[in-house]
Amino acid sequence: MGLLLTVVDAFTDQAFAGNPAAVAVVDDFPEDEYMQIVAREMNLSETAFVVPRPDGSHDLRWFTPTVEVDLCGHATLASAHTLGGQAAFHTRSGVLTCTPADRGWIEMDFPADHPTPTETPPDVGIDGVCGSGRGRDDLLIELEDAAAVRSLQPDLSRLAALGSRGVIFTAAGDREGIDCVSRVFAPNVGIPEDPATGSAHCTLAVYWGDRTAKAELVGEQASARGGMIRMRREGDRVILGGQAVAVSEVRLLV
């Protein structure tokens, strides 16, 4: 078949940081099985497939190395960056509109995710837990401070046994200009640790917005690659802001 993919580092202004996503702009979606094996071959957190519509908008689907997912922030940002910054994507999670902002940032209009307070599962195997909540797909766990999040080395088998798509560990920010820090682990969808996760910040924006009474926040994802995400709450939506850098093109021959 042959396929050209652009690899874009999202939620960063530097190459080889943030979260890489592969983006394929195609005339029509290939067979689901082909898209899944391409995502497995790319072996990134997400591979995005983008199909233009006659009205100028696009259809968008996201695949991890193992499954198709309903919502992905960094691969949406990577897709918008590939298209020039301005885009409207029709997805499983509704229409997601992307708009260029200041200094090369792109803002994305996403659904807010209101976590429901819950008891921390006893099998999580982490000390210093301050609170927990469940969003649409992910379990959120607050730790006592940012240092605990940064040094975290969780047992991925325990996290997978919790049954959620992913587990978000978070704490209040530990430096000026950062409202919260987080790390995200999603072994159940083939992602041991996600470097920078837009969809998690739909949850974090609500969680920390309620805690701080702030409508605008900045989150740092404290993975090895790192990522910076702006959040702005607007009713039942969250405007996520990020930067992106295209780093390579991959041409598949089959």
pLDDT digits (tens, 9 = 90+) for 196-234: 999 999 999 999 999 999 999 999 999 999 999 999 999
Q: Is 151 exposed, middle or buried (0-12, 13-18, 19+ CB in 10 A)?
A: exposed
State how far the Cα of 2 lies from the Cα of 114, in Å rounded to an integer.
41
Token pair listed for 189: 């969808």
Q: Is 33 an active-site residue?
A: no
Residue 123: its pLDDT value, please? 86
| CB count in 10 Å sphere of residue 20 | 26
Q: Which of 46, 142, 193, 220 is catalytic?
A: 46
Residue ranges of alpha helices (H) inside 70-197 are: 73-82, 146-150, 156-161
Domain spans, the chain: 3-110+241-252, 116-237
Tell me the CATH architecture of domain 3-110+241-252.
Answer: Roll (3.10)
Query: What pLDDT score does 1 carry?
Result: 61
For 164, residues 6+ apart whose C-beta sits below 8 A from its C-beta are 134, 137, 138, 139, 188
- 116-237 and 3-110+241-252 share a CATH fold: yes
Cβ neighbours for 71, distance < 8 A, ≥ 6 positions apart: 62, 91, 92, 93, 110, 111, 137, 199, 202
For the chain, residues with pLDDT lower than 50 are: none
Query: What is the pLDDT at residue 2?
Result: 84
Q: How many residues are listed for the chain in this entry?
A: 254
Instruction: Classify domain 116-237 by CATH number.
Output: 3.10.310.10
pLDDT of residue 181: 98
